[in-house]
Amino acid sequence: MEKGEYILALDEGTTSCRAILFDRQGRAAASAQREFASVFPQAGWVEQDADEIWRTQLAVMREAASSVSAAQISAIGITNQRETLVVWDAETGEPLHQAIVWQCRRTSAMCESLKAEGWEAEVRARTGLVLDPYFTGTKLKWLLDEVPGLREKAEAGRVLVGTIDTWLIWKLTEGAVHATDVSNASRTMLFNIHTLAWDEEILARLGIPAVMLPEVKPSSGIFGYTRLLDGDGEGTATEMTPPAGIPIAGVAGDQQAALFGQGCFESGMAKNTYGTGCFLLTNTGESPIASEKGLLTTIAWQMDGKTTYALEGSVFTAGSVIQWLRDGLGLIAHASESEALAASVADTLGVYVVPAFTGLGTPYWNADARGMITGLTRGATSAHLVRAALESIAYQTADVLGTMAAESGLRLKELRVDGGAVANSLLMQFQADLLGVSVIRPVMLETTALGAAFLAGLGVGFWSGTDELRALWELDRTFVPERDEAWRAGVYGGWQKAVGYQL
């Protein structure tokens, strides 16, 4: 295959779509980003318009690639918000319901019922996941049960389902490919991470027809070819068939892609991504490690015939707490203002924000927890509240790392970080102080997109292997701990007390 000069990464997040054009040095040659809307039909419910996601992703894709020709793009990599579910008509391509977002808690009662029936241990053993509304499986059962006629259409093979990566692949190939990769499949609560296949027993228990599910492929390798780079995204595209089409050659869920983009190719290496949520993953090699303390056992990626696993801790509300400060409270006009306002005070004056807007993740897994603010006094100002909100991100990360250390005996020497919120140096210094380990920030903060690009590049031979990729990783700044253990124990103890009110 003739090599071009770039890899185009499509990074479909929870609140926005990005497209980044990467060169052979792993540097961004062009990029574009646009936000899209979420809707909240009831308390704890979160939905998005799948067509809006597609149009937004297509628009930024074209914008980022506008300065180059299709021949200069060797491959496309896709990374996406995980667990978010789309169902669509197999013939028309029309979504049959709003996309149900990973944050949505509508299936809490269903999950509790399944737990009462004794299903949680079985689900964990087969999928590596806890029985929680966070994951895709119960969302799909809810749709099949609640949307009139959907189950009948699905059983007749007239409905397709997938996470956002599957939706984008299907749209990019004009319906030629209905597929996902193992990392996204492993987040559905329907996929057996040991047999690497959809789990027939779980499908039967949830009443999900296997015919509607996508084919599961390795994370690196050709999925299909684009057919609409010159079209309008509404089905009138100029057909681009192989080899003229651009190969989609790398796919991974956003957190697994970030682990790959951070160069965590070896067992024991870890990263934390500060996005809408906050997700810490540790590469555990070719063997899955079962958890008893709230961590998730998941597939990191599959390539060259080998499956790599990871342990993961999940924080549901991280960067979105900054959005809340902006959109919900109006304390800041732009997210970038949060650092300066928080830095205008020395500490939070004893204020703690517990941002359990959609429940609490690792290690609590409490779907019914809700956000709260504690420690308010008359002296508290908007600056103290903003600082407390930022610090809540670091505290939740400390919860996950503490659990991981207790579970595996792992004691990190450093933590590699990425995602939009790591541009906030005050937050990163507080994180290092709280953990007592150095926090390593790379030059390329968008390592989620970079990971997708790396997987796609390897899939078409654009890069030779992980040794070449490792050499492309560049350090921006190391945040070294500046506080002692007594301070650390004091502030973290206050956080644990605040969280305790919800448990």
Q: What are 23-41's pLDDT values in tens digits?
A: 999 999 999 999 999 999 9
Check residues 63 and 361 and name the one with the higher pLDDT. 63
Does the annotation place 132 within a ligand binding site? no
Does the annotation place 276 within a ligand binding site? yes
DSSP-derived letter for residue 435 is H
Does the annotation place 402 within a ligand binding site? no
What average pLDDT score do residues 246-253 get?
96
Lowest mean pLDDT among 122-136, 284-298, 299-313: 284-298
Q: Which of 45, 107, 53 is nearest to 81 (CA)?
A: 53
- Alpha-carbon distance of 406 to 413, in angstroms, equals 15
**In the prediction, which pLDDT does 7 show?**
96
**In the prediction, which pLDDT does 241 show?**
36
- Chain position carrying tokens 């959109």: 327
Whether residue 228 has pLDDT greater than 80:
no
Model confidence at 4, pLDDT cuts 50, 70, 90, reads confident
Does the annotation place 83 within a ligand binding site? yes
**In the prediction, which pLDDT does 268 show?**
79
What average pLDDT score do residues 313-319 get?
88
Does the annotation place 424 within a ligand binding site? yes
- Alpha-carbon distance of 76 to 6, in angstroms, equals 9
Domains, in order of start, for the chain: 6-230+242-255 (3.30.420.40), 263-502 (3.30.420.40)
CB 392 within 8 A of CB 316: no
CB 249 within 8 A of CB 393: no
Give me the helices (H) in 344-424, please: 382-408
Whether residue 1 has pLDDT greater than 60:
no
Give CB contacts under 8 A, 24+ apart, made by 113-121. 114/138, 119/205
Whether residue 244 has pLDDT greater than 70:
no
CB 495 within 8 A of CB 352: yes
The two tokens of residue 178 are 């209905």
**In the prediction, which pLDDT does 413 show?**
78
Burial of 42 (0-12, 13-18, 19+ CB in 10 A): exposed
DSSP-assigned beta bridge partners for residue 37: none
Give me the helices (H) in 104-253, please: 108-116, 120-127, 136-146, 150-155, 164-172, 182-185, 200-206
Sign of CA dihedral 157, 111, 355, 44: positive
What average pLDDT score do residues 212-228 get?
94
What average pLDDT score do residues 91-105 get?
95
Does the annotation place 57 within a ligand binding site? no
Lowest mean pLDDT among 9-13, 206-210, 398-402: 398-402
Does the annotation place 138 within a ligand binding site? no
Whether residue 308 has pLDDT greater than 50:
yes
Question: CA 124, 129, 132 angle in degrees (round to 5)?
Answer: 105
Model confidence at 409, pLDDT cuts 50, 70, 90, reads low
Does the annotation place 23 within a ligand binding site? no
Query: Nearest 5°: phi and psi at 347?
Result: -160, -170
Model confidence at 234, pLDDT cuts 50, 70, 90, reads very low
Provide the CB-side half-sphere exposure for 231 (13 A, CA): 17
Whether residue 502 has pLDDT greater than 90:
no
CB 73 within 8 A of CB 29: no
Does the annotation place 323 within a ligand binding site? yes
pLDDT in tens, 465-490: 999 999 998 899 999 999 999 999 99
**In the prediction, which pLDDT does 190 show?**
97
Whether residue 243 has pLDDT greater than 70:
no
Mean residue pLDDT across the chain:
91
Whether residue 233 has pLDDT greater than 50:
no
Whether residue 202 has pLDDT greater than 90:
yes
- Alpha-carbon distance of 451 to 463, in angstroms, equals 13
Lowest mean pLDDT among 157-171, 371-385, 407-421: 407-421
What count of other Cβ atoms lies within 10 Å of the Cβ of residue 236?
Answer: 8
- Alpha-carbon distance of 62 to 53, in angstroms, equals 14
Whether residue 238 has pLDDT greater than 60:
no
Does the annotation place 205 within a ligand binding site? no
Would you call the peptide bond into 214 cis, given omega within 30 degrees of 0 as the criterion? no
What count of other Cβ atoms lies within 10 Å of the Cβ of residue 207?
Answer: 13
What average pLDDT score do residues 336-353 get?
96
What average pLDDT score do residues 173-185 get?
96
- Alpha-carbon distance of 389 to 373, in angstroms, equals 9
pTM score, whole prediction: 0.84
